[in-house]
Amino acid sequence: MRIPLNWLKEYVDVKISVKELSDKLTMAGTENEILQAKAGDFEGIVVGEILEITKHPNADKLQITNTFVGKETLQIVCGAPNIEVGQKVPVALIGTQIGEFEIKEAELRGVKSHGMLCSEAELGISDDHSGIMVLDPRSNVGDSLSNALSMGSDKILEAELTSNRGDCLSMFGIAREVSVITGQSLKPPAINIKETGEKTSDVVAVEIGDKDLCRRYVARVIKNVKIGPSPKWMQDRLSSSGVRPINNVVDVTNYVMLEMGQPLHAFDADKISGRKIIVRKANKGEKIKTLDGVVRELNTSDLVIADTREAVAVAGVMGGANSEVTAETKTIVLESANFNPISVRKTAFRLALRSESSARFEKGLPLELANQAADRAAFLLTEVADGEVLSGRVDIGEKNDEEIKVTLRFDRIKSFLGEDISPDKVASILESLGIKTLSKNKEKAEFLVPYWRLDISIEEDLLEEVARIYGYENIPSTLPEGKLPLFEKNEKVETSKKIREVLTALGFFEIYSYSFTSKEKAALYREGADLVRIANPLSQDQEYMRADLLGSMIDIVPKNQDYRTGKMQGLYEIASVYSKKSEKTKLSGLIYGGGKDTGFRYIKGTTDILFNKLGIKNVIYKEDKSTNAKIFAGQKEIGYFVILDNADIKRFKVKSKGACFFELDLDMLSELTGQNKFQSIPRFPGSERDLTFVIKEKVTVEEIYEIIGGIKSDIRAKAEVIDIYRGKGLPEGRKSVSIRFVYQSSQRTLTDEEVDDDQTTIIKEVKGTLGGILRGEGN
């Protein structure tokens, strides 16, 4: 928020330097920086003083001026009605470029003109083209316009407000803060309305259809307004605050919003059908043309301001073109309401119409502010638009927020702030902030929170207020006291660390990708996934929350291939996937660039090593139609892997002969991760034996492992498939599977007979159960 100092001084007497004020505000919690209002670049335009004005002999609407510009007096013909002798005005000299127009010596209806007197519109300062711009009388004749404007330019503070301090989104709210930190008295905005005998309620009625979304609606009526430019002082303040002046009525609503923090809206009363305002939810498919000229379709969750015929404004966001104040407007209905913050935020975000008004409603506004702002605006309209304010207000809904009382225990001051601040000092600080003391004794005090401080509700809030006004710089640095909390290991975090160590050591690169993706890539291998659609996506490529990580990784591969060359590359990511019912953390990995078979061996080898390092036992891979294989640890499904075919590769623009992907559930990995146990090196030698079985193609390695695992043996240390062969020399529909067995005992040297007995049993069981025979044997 911008804070012009000249405007701020209307409410509080600032006697310190701008730098000191900026520092004090920052230390009190309102971070800011000092800006200097820019006068602009007006090359060739100087300050002139009008010495003489005479009528043009051949044109009723033109006048001839003699204007002194420092070194000479120029004859300049001018058609503006507001020029007077003695005025200091901007003069564009011969050769000056204004937009695409170059100032040249000209003859206007028979009289030569040696320059041009400029309006604000011609200079690009504002839209006002009603007359010549009149400069500060202190301006030096002949000086450049840039220097002349800098003379009166305002120092501006730009504040970065925290989300809970909605009360500081106004000039008067900042003035309250400055009053406290400087000790200067506060002067509220002037309100001195002289009402007519006619009642507001005779002209307009108000009905609130949804009291949850509109807690209060105040309407005032001002008649006989004269639409025109607002005074220069108001335009300057608005411009310094970053708001473009429009006309006196609209400028007043914007001015009071910036001044008091309450958004307002002005309707042309003659355009309100039935002279009745109805606050209701939008009808299904209802449309409204807003003030920016765009026709917008509303939904039934949007709150609108309507008359008896149609919607005339989107509540808290923007007015409608069908009730706009124009040059012909004579009577206005002034709206000052309290709308639900969440409703305004959702509507503004969905319509992409966030504004100064919606920003204030989104933070929440006190009910009491509505009537104050309406009265202030009505008063200003009598001053700048010659309006006549009708008697009373139409005021519907709640009038005051529930009082908030907070108890502060004085023994908490030392423990919470680390500084002994006396109870009297604490009460004095809080009183200066408008927080009244209701009762007080040696142990505690009860305080009443002012209506504008919606952010204060608990004891800690009061202590924070004391700390920032007392001065953080005045609180000494101390070591924390008390017992150190017991460290609790987070298994999920620890497992993630181990996974990163293992995969990085295996040559994988970790990636970070967006959770948003397209519908096509949100769930590539999760048929029927309950996808979460984003209400306001940035683009169609980011319309859904991902249900698996493959789509996100596929997006990254083409970019990675452009920057890194090599036969095979591996990526991994630990991130969340989403459904309408849950959010889960997954580990995913992708290997590409080495062909389908090579990629498969690497992906399975990677997961095997990972499970071994994590201490996860009894891992098996089961064939699956929807993916390629599901991964189990015991009876628990912990993930799956997929071999991407050529169609997938081409569809996602991956430059590779093949790619393999796996995804594992991180919560299950954390649950199953065990502590690796170290064993001593065996004292006795081991023995290796290889068996190669010829079995039917449909028999899986898992089935062979189950047979072997079912044969109990104290000497068999390991059994592992080392080769699978299909092709020449084998009957059709058959394959050969080679298995390596390791035999070892920690107590003795094994004999050949012991090993032979186990091998014989295995051969018999494989043949009897699976129909497998040793290669080289007949049927």
Residue 415 is predicted with a pLDDT of: 86
Q: Which residue has the tokens 């649950």?
A: 671
pLDDT at 470 over 90: yes
Same domain for 637 and 715, yes or no, is: no
d(CA 418, CA 677) in angstroms, rounded, equals: 48
User: Is the model more confident about 525 or about 9?
Assistant: 9
**Tally of domains within the chain:** 6
- CATH number for position 259: 3.50.40.10
d(CA 277, CA 336) in angstroms, rounded, equals: 12
Residue 384 is predicted with a pLDDT of: 94
- CATH number for position 748: 3.30.70.380
Average pLDDT, the chain: 88
Same domain for 531 and 435, yes or no, is: no
Using DSSP, state whether 251 is helix, strand or coil: helix
d(CA 541, CA 527) in angstroms, rounded, equals: 19
Q: Is 130 left (phi over 0), alpha (psi -120 to 50) or beta?
A: alpha
Residue 550 is predicted with a pLDDT of: 84
Same domain for 74 and 172, yes or no, is: no
User: What are the strands, taking DSSP E only, across 292-442?
Assistant: 295-297, 303-306, 311-314, 318-319, 332-339, 388-391, 394-397, 405-409, 436-440
Q: Which residue has the tokens 């048929």?
A: 527
Closest CA to 642 of 589, 585, 595: 589
Cβ-Cβ contacts under 8 Å for 750 (sequence gap 6 or more): 684, 686, 687, 715, 743, 744
Please report whether residue 417 resides in a domain.
yes
Please report whether residue 677 resides in a domain.
no
Residue 346 is predicted with a pLDDT of: 93
Domain with 355, as residue range(s), is: 195-397
Q: Are 725 and 736 in contact, with CB atoms under 8 Å apart?
A: yes
Please report whether residue 483 resides in a domain.
no
| β-bridge pairing 388-391 and 287-289 | unpaired
Same domain for 696 and 639, yes or no, is: no
Work out the average pLDDT over 636-663. 74
pLDDT > 90: percent of the chain: 58
- CATH number for position 13: 3.30.56.10
Same domain for 574 and 638, yes or no, is: yes
d(CA 448, CA 406) in angstroms, rounded, equals: 7
User: Is the model more confident about 180 or about 541?
Assistant: 180
Please report whether residue 187 resides in a domain.
no
pLDDT band, very low/low/confident/very high, at 124 (cuts 50, 70, 90): confident
Same domain for 543 and 623, yes or no, is: yes
- CA-angle at 518, arms to 516 and 521, nearest 5°: 100
Paired with 313 in beta bridges are 305, 319
Please report whether residue 477 resides in a domain.
no
Same domain for 449 and 508, yes or no, is: no
pLDDT at 36 over 60: no
Same domain for 651 and 585, yes or no, is: yes
Last residue of some domain: 370, 397, 424?
Answer: 397
Cβ-Cβ contacts under 8 Å for 26 (sequence gap 6 or more): 32
Q: Which string of DSSP letters, residue by residue, matches 424-438?
A: HHHHHHHHHTT-EEE
pLDDT > 70: percent of the chain: 93
Please report whether residue 176 resides in a domain.
yes
pLDDT band, very low/low/confident/very high, at 257 (cuts 50, 70, 90): very high
Instruction: Give, for 280, the enclosing helix (H) or strand (E).
Output: strand 276-281
Global pTM?
0.63
Same domain for 231 and 371, yes or no, is: yes
pLDDT at 400 over 70: yes
pLDDT band, very low/low/confident/very high, at 657 (cuts 50, 70, 90): low
d(CA 256, CA 228) in angstroms, rounded, equals: 18
- CATH number for position 574: 3.30.930.10
pLDDT band, very low/low/confident/very high, at 54 (cuts 50, 70, 90): very high
Same domain for 626 and 522, yes or no, is: yes
d(CA 779, CA 764) in angstroms, rounded, equals: 13
- Joined together, the tokens standing for residue 681 give 């090196």
User: Is the model more confident about 77 or about 563?
Assistant: 77
Work out the average pLDDT over 27-33. 90
pLDDT, tens only, 593-643: 766 666 677 888 899 999 989 988 888 888 777 667 889 888 889 998 888
Please report whether residue 679 resides in a domain.
no
pLDDT, tens only, 315-354: 999 999 999 999 999 999 999 999 999 999 999 988 888 8
Instruction: Give, for 574, the enclosing helix (H) or strand (E).
Output: strand 569-578
Please report whether residue 216 resides in a domain.
yes
For residue 292, the one-letter residue type is D
User: Is the model more confident about 702 or about 7?
Assistant: 7
Cβ-Cβ contacts under 8 Å for 309 (sequence gap 6 or more): 273, 274
CA distances from 376 to 1, 42, 510 (A): 21, 37, 59
Residue 353 is predicted with a pLDDT of: 86
Q: Are 231 and 249 in contact, with CB atoms under 8 Å apart?
A: no
pLDDT at 674 over 80: no
pLDDT band, very low/low/confident/very high, at 218 (cuts 50, 70, 90): very high
Work out the average pLDDT over 170-182. 95
pLDDT band, very low/low/confident/very high, at 363 (cuts 50, 70, 90): very high
Q: Are 271 and 319 in contact, with CB atoms under 8 Å apart?
A: no
Residue 599 is predicted with a pLDDT of: 67
Same domain for 283 and 417, yes or no, is: no
Same domain for 165 and 145, yes or no, is: no
Last residue of some domain: 439, 471, 503?
Answer: 471
